[in-house]
């Protein structure tokens, strides 16, 4: 078995929708995990050996959504989260590894583009307004990143 490296990316895919009335604003793409139905998240994935973090973000976005991040605004937020790996997923890492370092990226799209999910990784996807997306994700670091979107997207929202 090939173990995962305990270094990963979180890629928050979003679009700043022009304000057209109540409820308009930033929309966030969420994916439902195939191995844990009901667990929603942004794109995530472990870094491969010899791969730069930006390359990991581009690869994971393409694998999980079919979106080519190189064609859009991919930004390294320069944020690292160190967290304890959920026990249910520790078998994927070398023995004794209990923590992962996650690097956060944002991928801004021009609109809510069509997504092609990887059926072995995800059951479905949805676009949600940023506040609702933050409430739906299971990961605290994913929630924190989504809540930063109004500032990160350069938009003032209320």
- Over range 43-53, report the average pLDDT: 96
- Pick from 20, 11, 111, 134: nearest CA to 61: 11
pLDDT of residue 158: 34
For residue 25, what pLDDT is reported?
A: 85
Q: How many whole angstroms separate alpha carbon 84 and alpha carbon 9?
A: 15
**Global confidence as pTM:** 0.91
Tokens of 124: 């479905």
Structure confidence by residue, pLDDT tens digits, 3-40: 999 999 999 999 976 555 333 489 999 999 999 999 99
Q: Is the dihedral of CA 67, 68, 72, 77 positive or negative?
A: positive
Model confidence band, residue 151 (pLDDT cutoffs 50, 70, 90): confident
**pLDDT (tens digit per residue) in 55-114:** 999 999 999 999 999 999 999 999 999 999 989 889 999 999 999 999 999 999 999 999
Q: What is the DSSP letter of 22?
A: T
Question: Which domains are assigned to the chain?
Answer: 7-152 (3.90.79.10)
DSSP assigned state of 40? E
Q: What pLDDT is recorded for position 157?
A: 36
- Predicted confidence at residue 54, as pLDDT, reads 98
């Amino acid at each position: 078995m090939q173990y995962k490296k305990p270094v990963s990316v979180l890629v928050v895919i979003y679009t700043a929708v022009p304000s057209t009335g109540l409820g308009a604003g930033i929309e966030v793409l969420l994916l439902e995990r195939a191995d844990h139905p009901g667990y929603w998240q942004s794109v995530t994935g472990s870094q491969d050996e010899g791969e730069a973090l930006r390359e990991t973000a581009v690869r994971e976005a393409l694998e999980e959504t079919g979106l080519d991040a190189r064609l859009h605004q991919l930004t390294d937020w320069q944020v690292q989260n160190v967290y304890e790996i959920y026990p249910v997923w520790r078998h994927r890492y070398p023995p004794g590894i209990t923590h992962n370092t996650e690097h956060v990226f944002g991928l801004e799209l021009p609109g809510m583009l069509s997504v092609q999910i990887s059926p072995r990784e995800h059951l479905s996807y949805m676009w949600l307004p940023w506040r609702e997306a933050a409430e739906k994700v299971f990961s605290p670091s994913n929630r924190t990143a989504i809540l930063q979107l109004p500032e990160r997207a350069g938009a003032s929202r209320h």
